[in-house]
Amino acid sequence: MTVTHGLEADVLRRQDPELADVLLGERERQATTLQLIAAENFTSPAVLAALGSPLANKYAEGYPGARHHGGCEIADVAERLAVDRAKSLFGAEHANVQAHSGSSAVLAAYAALLRPGDTVLALGLPHGGHLTHGSPANFSGRWFDFVGYGVDAESGLIDHDQVRALARAHRPKAIVCGSTAYPRHLDHAFFREVADEVGAYLIADAAHPIGLVAGGAAPSPVPYADVVCATTHKVLRGPRGGMILCGAELAGRVDRAVFPFTQGGAQMHTIAAKAVAFGEAATPAFAAYAHQVVANARVLAAALAAEGLAVTTGGTDTHLITVDPAPLGVDGRTARGRLAAAGLVLDCCALPHADARGLRLGTAAVTTQGMGEREMPVVAGLLASVLRGGTEAARAREDVRELTAAFPPYPR
Ligand SMILES: *Cc1c(COP(=O)(O)O)cnc(C)c1O
């Protein structure tokens, strides 16, 4: 790891000890608290090495073989590697690896397929839709006419009848399937069928589960969606960034929607790091990891339910769990604060059955650290005990420190 070890770290420490301390402090925080934020993970030292490489210096507007700058012959090799690896990993005809983030990937997907003012059907934000699925604070809500479908208040499952009825009533130009908080697999065949019935494009925003897809632990949206948007930094465990997969016939439109329509020069160090991550994700070790992530999440969900928390949909198919802590006498916001003080880091989220906030947890990061089904009940016990007020924050913080000490995310 270059940030705090090795030659580069020494250079940074000599030149800018203040910032070197900040980086060291963050490394310490990540290693000694429990990273239960469902969107986070620990990238490998190889990915970090690519991110810290001199490719960060290179301007490479355009695409391999057709750049607006000179000296791109090596950058081209890096991007071709990333594209080829993504295509083979996901069985896609085309991959664009330049999107700076998951949100940029969604923006480009809309730019490729839609015009301002078009109607789009997506999971409503109060039900787990992402900001890019029609939030009035986001370009999506400002430039498109979003109609939101929801989840059933009791079961927490997507209301398929409502999706079909809204699609028939509003005739959207595109249907988006994907969520920031849905713990179950999506029925891609169902969404494809509804999209075909009303003549809409199907956009799968697989930002969360794409890493599980890579490891064969979740169904792939690639055979069903016209365009698949994803992040590379969640379960997939690559650098922060976005990616778009599509069929050959939309390749040109998608590429032009990324550059020059919504972005300038590609971040070549990040693209190199994406190539490294795709290489890792194609290994049997990563497939085992992805399945372990889900096994851990299932055990954690069951343990949280046994501790008295209300688990949305009764469990999970993925890395992601949402719970209502109300049965333990706290609301989501208070719970998140108390848990943070104890070193359990997670997010709040919407709940299907209540206006109150719930908690969203994921197992991608702790699984990368090497935690397994034995540790998950320990995590659930700590969490519940902090929420019940049975364990002081300082005491729980020590317990978390002890647990994480056995699973360092990076070699020391
Ligand atoms: C995380 C996420 C995004 C956005 O990713 P960023 O890289 O944070 O922009 C988009 N859509 C969904 C469903 C997500 O979960």
Residue 157: predicted pLDDT: 97
25: in domain: no
Q: For residues 281 and 215, is the Cβ–Cβ distance under 8 A?
A: yes
Would you say 249 is a known binding-site residue?
Answer: yes
Domain membership flag for residue 33: no
Q: What is the pLDDT of residues 207-230, one digit of tens each?
A: 999 999 999 999 999 999 999 999
Closest CA to 295 of 405, 383, 371: 371
Q: From atom 3 of ligand 1, which residue's Cα is the shortest distance away? A: 102
Cα separation of 305 and 318, whole Å? 16
214 CA to centre of ligand 1 in angstroms: 17
Per-residue pLDDT reduced to its tens digit, 151-198: 999 999 999 999 999 999 999 999 999 999 999 999 999 999 999 999
Please give the distance, rounded to the nearest whole angstrom, from the Cα atom of residue 396 to the centre of ligand 1: 31
Q: Are residues 247 and 331 in the same domain?
A: no
Catalytic residue set: 59, 61, 205, 231, 234, 240
Please give the pLDDT value at position 392: 85
Å from CA of 198 to ligand 1 middle:
27
What per-residue confidence (pLDDT) applies to 404?
98
Is 9 contained in some domain?
no
Do 248 and 121 share a domain, yes or no?
A: yes
pLDDT at 1: 44
Whether the link from the prior residue into 172 is cis, omega within 30° of 0, is no
234: CA distance to ligand 1 center in Å?
9
| pLDDT of 99 over the 90 cut | yes
Does residue 392 share a domain with residue 250?
A: no
Rounded-to-integer distance, Cα 154 and Cα 354, Å? 10
Lowest mean pLDDT among 51-65, 106-120, 360-374, 383-397: 383-397
Dist. CA 402 → ligand 1 center (Å): 32
Number of H helices and E strands in the chain, helices first, is: 16, 15
Give yes or no: residues 300 and 202 share one domain: no
Domain containing 143 — which CATH number? Answer: 3.40.640.10
- Domain-terminating residue out of 249, 281, 313: 281
Mutate to test the pocket of ligand 1, among 37, 130, 318 (most ligand atoms within 8 A of CB): 130
| Residues 239 and 370 grouped into a single domain | no
Q: Whole-model pTM above 0.95?
A: yes
Q: Whose CA is nearest to atom 2 of ligand 1?
A: 207
Q: Are residues 248 and 315 in the same domain?
A: no
Q: Considering 281, 299, 320, which residue would you say is the last residue of a domain?
A: 281
Mean model confidence pLDDT for the chain: 96
How many domains does the chain fold into? 2
Based on the domain organization, do 130 and 115 belong to the same domain? yes
Q: Which atom of ligand 1 approaches the CA of 103 most closely?
A: 9
**Is 156 within any annotated ligand binding site?**
no
Question: Going by C-beta distance under 8 Å and a sequence separation of 6 or more, which residues neighbour residue 190?
Answer: 160, 163
Q: Which domain holds residue 198?
A: 54-281
Question: In terms of domains, do 358 and 386 share one?
Answer: yes
pLDDT for 8: 66
Residue 342 and residue 232 share a domain: no
pLDDT digits (tens, 9 = 90+) for 372-403: 999 999 999 999 999 999 888 899 999 999 99
CATH number, domain with residue 358:
3.90.1150.10
Can you give the pLDDT at residue 289?
A: 98
Structure tokens at 6: 């090795």
Average pLDDT over every residue of 317-342? 97
pLDDT at 4: 45
Known binding residue 185? Answer is no
Label residue 233 by pLDDT band (50, 70, 90).
Answer: very high
Which of ligand 1's atoms lies nearest the C-alpha of 180?
15
Q: Which atom of ligand 1 is nearest to the CA of 39?
A: 1
> According to the model, what pLDDT value does residue 264 have?
97
CB-based pocket (< 6 A), ligand 1: 39, 101-103, 106, 130, 132, 178-180, 205, 207-208, 231, 242
Residue where a domain stops, chosen among 232, 247, 281? 281
111 & 205 share domain: yes
| pLDDT value at residue 7 | 58
Find the mean pLDDT for residues 92-99.
98
Nearest to 201, CA basis, from 173, 233, 234: 173
Residue 39 covered by a domain: no
107 annotated binding-site participant: no
Determine contact, residues 242/254, Cβ cutoff 8 Å.
no
The annotation status of 18 as a binding-site residue, yes or no, is no
Q: pLDDT tier at 199 (50, 70, 90 boundaries)?
A: very high
User: Which helix (DSSP H) or strand (DSSP E) does residue 211 occupy?
Assistant: helix 210-214
Q: Which of 133, 177, 205, 235 to mutate to test the pocket of ligand 1 (most atoms within 8 A of CB)?
A: 205
The pLDDT, as a whole number, for residue 411 is: 83
**Closest ligand 1 atom to the C-alpha of 242?**
7
End-to-end, the C-alpha distance of the chain in Å comes to: 9
Q: Which atom of ligand 1 is nearest to the CA of 104?
A: 9
Residue bearing the CA closest to ligand 1, atom 15: 180
| 247 within a domain of the structure (yes/no) | yes
Is residue 36 in a domain? no
Residues 198 and 299 in one domain: no
* Phi, psi of 390, deg, nearest 5: -75, -25
In a domain, 35, yes or no: no
What is the Å distance from ligand 1's center to 241 Cα? 9
Residue 327 has pLDDT above 70, yes or no: yes
Question: 401: Cβ–Cβ under 8 A, 6 or more apart, which residues?
Answer: 32, 343
At residue 5, does pLDDT exceed 70?
Answer: no
Residue 24 lies inside a defined structural domain of this protein: no
pLDDT given at position 6: 60
Query: What does the CA dihedral 259, 264, 265, 271 come to, rounded to 10 degrees?
Result: -60
Kindly state whether residues 272 and 289 are assigned to the same domain. Answer: no
Which H or E run includes 204? strand 201-205
